[in-house]
Amino acid sequence: MKYVALIPARLGATRFPAKLMAQLKGKSVIRRTYESAVNTGLFDEVVVVTDSDIIWDEIVQIDGKAVKSKGEYESGTDRIAEIAAEMNADVFINIQGDEPFVQREPLEQLLRVFEGKDADQVQVASLVQLLTDQKLIDDPNYVKVALDLHHNALFFSRSVIPYPRNQKLMIPYYEHIGVYAFRKKALMNFTIWPMTPLEAAERVECLRFLEHGVPIRMVVTKYMGIEIDTPEDIIKAEKLMEQKGWI
């Protein structure tokens, strides 16, 4: 099978403007994300898709592959779909540009669902990890996911889901990791549909699939990384790099 990783990279950001060009131990966030994706060795191609000349230059100057998107988009998935429409691949992986610690093992787990016994039923898949820190569970910057018994997503929310009405139960809370995998048809369908009500309310793009009845298979992983959403996340990321001995 042919796997292509596309990294949507918008320069503007509400909570942390130009965060993808923020420096993380001497390299920009977007450069670290790109290099991490390439270094997994899982993909036939890795391409940064951006609206910014600055980000385009950042990737091209290290002999990376970047393309400029032509349209204005509400989501990263819409942005990569413009490029995917002209490419041939069995599965497209959307790796968010603010995920500098992308690793091979969780991505391998994600790709495996497109090759398993019920692979023909999987059109869209994504990653989650357990959340155990109550402060993070309560934080709206951390998107939570409720799963069904088959590890399909029931709902994504910035609120606490499920709500712990029964305090006696040990409820698992899952954080959505911003990595998606799509078969091409599912990705193209996403671009045809307008933004849906729940997607607009939560500002979580994958809700568009659920609102159209497309299941999303969630892969539980022990992903160790930090998504860069705020300036404070840069500090957390640098501390993690020091702890792990990452360069």
Exposure b/e, 93-113, CB count within 10 A at least 16 = b: bbbbbbbbbbbeebbebbbeb
- What global pTM score does this model have? 0.89
CATH of the domain at 140: 3.90.550.10
Enter the tokens of residue 191: 């671009």
Distance CA 168, CA 180 (A): 34
Separation in Å, CA 62 to CA 39, 119, 171? 14, 36, 45
- Report the 10 Å Cβ neighbour count for 15: 11
Q: Which are the contacts of 190, defined by CB distance < 8 A and separation ≥ 6?
A: 77, 78, 81, 182, 208, 209
- Residue whose entry in the numeric block shows the structure tokens 């990263």: 76
CA angle 173, 179, 197 (to 5 degrees): 75
Separation in Å, CA 133 to CA 173, 198, 205, 222, 229? 10, 26, 25, 15, 18
Q: What pLDDT score does 224 carry? A: 67
Q: Which domain holds residue 64?
A: 3-244
Number of domains in the chain: 1
Backbone angles phi, psi at 143, to 5 degrees: -80, 125
- Report the 10 Å Cβ neighbour count for 231: 11
Backbone angles phi, psi at 134, to 5 degrees: -60, -35
Mean pLDDT by 10 residues, the chain (247 residues): 95 84 95 96 97 96 95 85 94 94 93 89 95 94 94 97 91 92 96 94 94 97 84 93 86
